[in-house]
Amino acid sequence: MSKRKMSEDYESSGVEESELSDEGYEYEEPEDPTIFAAESSEEVRVDTFTLAELTARVEDVIERLAEVTSLPRDQAFAILAHQRWNLDSALAAFAEDPARLAKKVGLSDEKAVPASAVCCVCYDAAADGADLLRPLSCMHVACRECWKNYLEERLSINQECLITCLASGCGLLVPRSRVQACLQGRTLETYQRSIAESYVQSKSNMKWCPTPDCNSVISPDHGAAVSQLQVLECKQCQQQFCFTCGENHVPSSCQMLREFKHRCDSEGDNMSWLKDNTKECPKCCSFIEKNGGCNWIKCSKCGFEFCWLCGRAIKHSEIDAAGGSHRCNVFKSEDEKKEIEKRKSAAGKLREEDERRKFLHYYGRYLAHRQSSRLEMQNLNALRSQHSPDAESEAVRFLRQAQAQGLDRLRVARQMLWSSYILGFYQKWDAAGCGKEIFEDLQHLLENRTEALSKAIQASFINDEGKNFMDEKLEIIRLTDAVKTNMNNLKDVCSRDIRV
């Protein structure tokens, strides 16, 4: 395939060549001339661990510490959890002063049950049939049932992997083996999950997959740095998300997403801040925040010079201490004040209305794509639940596969589109360049392709007699590939040319 400049590519999308002045944008021309095939941003390889695989890694670290230090596994576990699962730190602390470390962590050994012991909770004695467990070094004796109730209550309140003795004020840790022996079923799973949570939270390069009930952990390969404009994909559920905040918001940033959601919840907050902390330029109505003590202000946007106190146009020389001509200490009549306030009010209302209309423009499109995504996901879920390959012909089966792939592509395309409107609302564009036009044109192409794919999939669900399943399948596949290409183009331009 040949390569040509961006200005030539844009002829197919209705943008004049004269509108594009930037150099350096090259895209590989695909077979369909309306699809821009940019190289996608460098992908970050990730490792995905199931809960079982993560548990195996935890046990391996425990085994390594126990082998080097000759400690029981329960104590090796407690030290590692206390040292945030840093094996080197645990070894260094143990080598420096084992006794001090044991006291700091709360380690203890199990002792024999005294002959006349009773449970310190329910006061049942062994002679009365109570199943008393061996006490810790603190000699607090309790029966199995009380231990079980205590551990279940602690885990229901706070899912923690290090649990102290049930006696009030005792700081010794309960051995992991005792916790596991006393618990069963869902409560035991909660405890095992709390150990995995502790391990993941200690690792800056690990995150849980945000998909509910996935229980997988994602880790960038070899600790690679991950940009906010790169999404990671869980290999278990294929969910894509930002490693920093857990949502898929490319091409906007985490901060843009947070601010936009906050704006959606409380639309008037920004206007209130501007009103309390800024004044408007009397000429261009731009909001100005005063950053110095001098009351002579020059608007950085239009260059208009005015007095911060009264808003009248002045030159710097007019407020000079050597006898400037400007005076705003004189009380103005009601007519003059009303005229000034009227002018300010009109300018403020115009600016406020323009800001509101801008927000509603982007917010409306953001909501539309989120709503479309929800409806398309309903179709995908229905397709998966009703799909019965044995009862369908080969042609219909292939069409169903194309529909599922197309609907899944629509899901990620809608995510990129609603996020692109967040970026469009906040991004400050260089007036001298054509970045805004390039971004909006690529956004428009992705939007068109996404709607075309959605329409084709919707039409393919209609049961018309004698229709060609193969043609429908090929059309869905073609549009699915086109949407993927347009997504790569938009992501590539944003990650390379937009600072977020």
CA distances, 79 to each of 153, 203, 252, 349, 432 (Å): 24, 16, 42, 63, 60
Q: What is the Cβ-side half-sphere exposure of residue 134, based on CA atoms within 13 angstroms?
A: 10
Across the strands, what pairs with 305? 298
Structure tokens at 178: 């005792």
pLDDT for 55: 92
Determine how many CB atoms are found less than 10 A away from the CB of residue 183: 19
Tell me the residue type at 4. Answer: R
> What own/partner pairs with CB < 8 Å and gap ≥ 24 does 144-150 have?
144/182, 146/119, 146/121, 146/122, 147/178, 147/182, 148/182, 148/183, 150/121
* pLDDT tens-digit map of 72-129: 999 999 999 999 999 999 999 999 999 999 999 999 888 888 877 888 888 877 655 5
Q: What is the pLDDT of residue 20?
A: 35
Q: Which percentage of the chain shows pLDDT scores above 70?
A: 74
- Rounded Cα–Cα distance for residues 331 and 333 (Å): 7
Residue range 223-243, pLDDT digits in tens:
555 665 567 888 888 788 888
Spatial separation of the C-alpha atoms in residues 422 and 355, rounded to whole Å: 14
Within 8 A by CB and 6+ apart from 306, the residues are 281, 282, 283, 297, 299, 312, 313, 314
Q: From the CB of residue 196, how many other CB atoms can be counted at a distance below 10 Å?
A: 20
Alpha carbon of residue 95 to chain centroid: 41
Predicted local confidence at residue 265, as pLDDT: 72
Other C-beta atoms closer than 10 Å to the C-beta of 18 total 7
- Contact of 119 with 141, CB cutoff 8 Å: yes
Strand order in the sheet with 207-208: 46-49, 217-220, 207-208
- Asked if 241 and 55 touch (Cβ cutoff 8 Å), the reply is no
Contact 452, 35 (CB under 8 A): no
pLDDT of residue 363: 82
Q: What is the pLDDT of residue 32?
A: 41
The pLDDT value given to residue 15: 37
pLDDT at 152: 93
Residue from 431, 435, 492, 424 nearest 20 by CA? 435
The pLDDT of residue 41: 44
pLDDT of residue 60: 95
Catalogue the E-assigned strands of 133-268: 207-208, 217-220, 232-233, 240-241
pTM of whole model > 0.85?
no
Q: Give the relative orientation of helices 334-386 and 254-265 as an angle to the nearest 10 degrees.
A: 110
Give the Cα separation of 10 and 438 in Å (integer): 9
Distance from C-alpha of 181 to C-alpha of 183, rounded to nearest angstrom: 6
Residues in the chain predicted with pLDDT less than 50, given as ranges, are: 1-41, 268, 321-323
Cβ–Cβ < 8 Å for 263, 255? no
CA–CA distance, 490 with 487 (Å, rounded to integer)? 5
Of 49, 109, 155, 33, give the one whose Cα is nearest residue 485. Answer: 33
DSSP H helices in 247-333:
254-265, 269-277
Q: Is 280 helix (H, G, I), strand (E, B) or coil?
A: strand
Q: Which two tokens stand for residue 139?
A: 């000699």
pLDDT at 353: 66
- CB environment 348-361: b (16+ within 10 A), e (fewer): beebeeeeeeebee
DSSP 31: S
Question: Cβ distance 460 to 216 under 8 Å?
Answer: no
